[in-house]
Amino acid sequence: MELSAAMPSPSTESAPTERADARGVLEAHGALARRYRQVRERTERLLAPLSSEDCQVQSMPDASPAKWHAAHTSWFFETFVLAPRLAGYRAFDASYAYLFNSYYDSVGPRVARDRRGLLTRPALAEVLRYREHVDRHVARLCAEAELPPELCDVLEVGLNHEEQHQELFLTDLKHALAQNPREPAYAPAPEGPRGPRAPRAPAAPLAFVPYAGGLVEIGHAGAGFAFDNERPRHRVFLEPFELASRAVTNAEFLEFVRAGGYAEPRLWLSDGWAERERGGWSAPLYWREQDGEWSSFTLAGRRPLDPTEPVVHVSYYEAEAYAAWAGARLPTEAEWEHAASGVAPDGHFQDSGRYHPAPAAHDPSGRPAALFGDVWEWTASAYAAYPGFEPWRGSLGEYNGKFMANQMVLRGGSCASPAGHLRASYRNFFHPHARWQFSGVRLAR
């Protein structure tokens, strides 16, 4: 996922008749304003436990400082909503256009991505004032009687954008804290239904659920929000396939490790093996073995490896090698989406406060369990344009399209995704060597 977002798809904008009477509009405004407040407050709640120092650091070029996430998401509203739409709006600080642009070439030049951690000024406190400033002006805009549909659409994009950054915030923070030899915790692990660290029964045996395939449709359809890369809905022909009933667990992945999976090049893609050697990988990111005991760093600190949880923080290469070893393969994104259509996008998300996958669920009905939440599931599909893909118009056209090379699609969201953010057609994407995301493995065959 390359973050910072985009304009509504062509059709919705131009369909004013779908937007009903004035009263409906006002209610819609009210709902949008409420959602705006909720999303923005969630970001600030996530920041609350951290010191200014925690929010400053950038632990690698791919990750961004927490402070930068907080500022950039505000810059997004300022740039795409306030500046063009609120008469007389004056930027909070002219330099922010340069400091907090992520990658919008059409908006202008910017600080190089790997130098975000060098910006000690503005301080976190000033960034929080910036957020407040932007919020006050968005509220003023929302209070206006006539909120044009396109504007609602861009606001909705901005909110989805901020939700994506909420996940990245947790992901990047975890990486940053893990660099500290003291391995500090971000938040204690909550007790509760999916949380306690007590001994528990092994995960349900892995089963494969059959699908007949045929000519199916994937991609977003209907009126709700979706990113441009989920469109248009289109037909795909699928051979019959089977999808695993749950994600691969730590216990299963540990078997692969112990069987020498990281020492056998024949299991790996050629580029994957090279990456393994470059990085010295011998287990998933954040795993460590000491005196025969395996543990894993989590946002609640280092903990013994729970065999029943889905494995997380594996690259595409590791997922693929595991599948080869297990005599299976990864699903394509079309297979995954087909299996997920009609399934409610419920699951274990960020709002649990656990920030770590929960033990593997089991669906007694025999359907694949936990397709949504817990861990992003790598697919065998390279991220590419759907037939007839049209990027959003204007600068927001840079949101998704320009990343369509060298990345693999992940589906389903994770324990770090905000609840309500996911849907069956949602496409996340990362380079195949990326491991710092909450990414796991679901097999197919």
Cβ atoms of residues 172 and 63 within 8 Å: yes
Kindly indicate which of the ranges 34-42, 233-241, 301-309, 345-353 contains the residues binding its own copies, using the contact rule CB under 8 A. 233-241
Name the residue among 364, 352, 363, 362 with its Cα closest to residue 194: 352
Cβ atoms of residues 189 and 298 within 8 Å: yes
Strands (DSSP E) found in 246-396: 287-290, 293-298, 301-304, 376-382
Whole-angstrom CA distances from 433 to 138, 267, 278 are 39, 16, 11
For its own copies, the closer CB: 259 or 385 = 385
For its own copies, the closer CB: 236 or 254 = 236
Q: Does the footprint of its own copies cover residue 30 (CB under 8 A)?
A: no
Name the residue among 8, 288, 5 with its Cα closest to residue 168: 5
Kindly indicate which of the ranges 74-82, 84-92, 148-156, 403-411 contains the residues binding its own copies, using the contact rule CB under 8 A. 403-411
Cβ atoms of residues 442 and 414 within 8 Å: no
Kindly indicate which of the ranges 21-29, 92-100, 299-307, 357-365 contains the residues binding its own copies, using the contact rule CB under 8 A. 92-100
Residue from 18, 52, 136, 224 binding its own copies (CB under 8 A): 52
* Binding to its own copies in span 372-401, by CB under 8 A: 380-382, 384-385, 387-388, 398
Q: Does the footprint of its own copies cover residue 221 (CB under 8 A)?
A: no
Residue 344: Cβ within 10 Å count: 10
> To the nearest whole angstrom, how small is the minimum distance from the Cβ of residue 288 to its own copies?
16
Name the residue among 376, 369, 380 with its Cα closest to residue 413: 376
Q: Residue 310 carries which DSSP code?
A: B
Cβ atoms of residues 313 and 439 within 8 Å: yes
* Binding to its own copies in span 93-152, by CB under 8 A: 95, 98-99, 103, 105-106, 111, 115, 117-121, 123-124
Kindly indicate which of the ranges 78-86, 171-179, 340-348, 363-371 contains the residues binding its own copies, using the contact rule CB under 8 A. 171-179
Strand-strand pairing, 376-382 and 439-440: parallel
Number of residues in contact with its own copies, rule: CB under 8 A?
A: 66
> To the nearest whole angstrom, how small is the minimum distance from the Cβ of residue 124 to its own copies?
7
- Residue numbers at the binding site for its own copies (CB under 8 A): 2, 51-57, 59, 67, 95, 98-99, 103, 105-106, 111, 115, 117-121, 123-124, 176-177, 179-182, 184, 215, 234-239, 241, 265-266, 268-272, 316-317, 320, 329, 380-382, 384-385, 387-388, 398, 402-406, 408, 432
